[in-house]
Chain A
Amino acid sequence: MKNNPLLKKLNLRYLVSLLISIVLAFIIGAGILALSGFSPLKAYGAMLSGAFDSARHVGDFLEYAMVLCICGLACVLGARVGIFNVGGEGQLLLGAIFACQVGIWLDGFSPWIVIPAAALAAMIVGGFYAFIPGVLKVKVKVNEVITTIMLNTIAAYLCQYLAKGPWKNANKNMVAATEQLNAQYWFGNVIPRSSLSTAIFAAAIIAFIVWYVMQKTSRGFEMRLTGQNPRFARFSGIRTDRLVILCMVISGAMCGLVGMFRVYGAEHLYRDSVSRDYYFEALMVAMIAQYKPVTVIFLSLFFAVLKIGAQGMELIGVPSQIYLIIQTVIIFFMAAESGISASLQASAQKRKAKLAAKARQKGDVQHG
């Protein structure tokens, strides 16, 4: 109980700096918009209406929030034990294409068989793809950031090859795409004409489980210990190597599953619009949330609104990438928050000291 006020204070500080960062990022974004000849007010107006003007867009941003949230939690899971899974993009793509292909191979079976099989395939492929850098990190000590990024590019090429070659959709001439899934396997639509599907309920359950395990169980405590002080964790009897690899594999499986959700819920076949660097945006969200699960969930919603809203900006001719700029500026501010406040404090102290010195001098003169 004693800790509570302190905890609140920390959260308050985080919230305030987050709010300031967001406001500043929007101001900088407005500056860039104005410099490139767009009216910032109009553009931000289009962003707002782009996200909220119809039920369809609301559904779209909820679906995107789901993607961000699960991928972001996958990243948090790795970061908690001290391994950065930057390879979620590759895991997602491979999960998506394998899940899709399982649905095509098993065409004709009942959905009760096909959908679990596809989910399993996505999780196995995604998990295996995360297992490689995980083992390399733990057993060989190879920097996981480089390996996962290389694996991302490899996965993207591989999926491109599969969707253009062996698993190609005969009806699509030039584009890389697989066959379409039979309609009986599609996830039901929650909001008509939007890409929001029943997958969001599964995602909510996953998010809850991840949060519960990380925050409320002793395994979650072991994870935090491993991430913060691996030596101490090892000495206190935690098998850190196994835990790190396990977290990495689960993280990869979650990303693979998101790929399956994208295919069965929204796209109904594999093509490159399954993910356009979505995992990297989720990574940014996880970083802004400072790897805290609950914060990830809320920030996912916020950034999903921004993203879908930004697509509305395209209607008035503004490139939607302004969204990426705003998002990264927020990260810059958040990452530098403690540094900036420290240097502000230092300069304030300097000023105070100077003033005090001056006052003292004056005092000396008067007395003298």
Chain B
Amino acid sequence: MTISRKDIEKVAVLARIQVDDAQVSALEKDLGNILDLVDQLSAADTESVEPLAHPLDAVQRLRPDEVTETDQRAEFQAIAPATENGLYLVPRVIE
């Protein structure tokens, strides 16, 4: 199993990680090796086997629709890289 440079560049965009040309070359080899390892799965007979997402087959627990958390915005925003008037700041998105 090989993974092309184009695939790696596409996946890096999806994952929001900047990669340069040298990294893509290294990733081509490393990711190729990992996918080779993973390819052993294709040999397994999984006809009529249900996928297992959670070891105890748990389902989402529901709780009463009540407010249980207090407002901690100031505390949470104190650790943010940039905030103003209670808002998180990012570079301008709309001109």
Partners in one complex: no
**Residues on A close to B: CB < 8 A?**
none
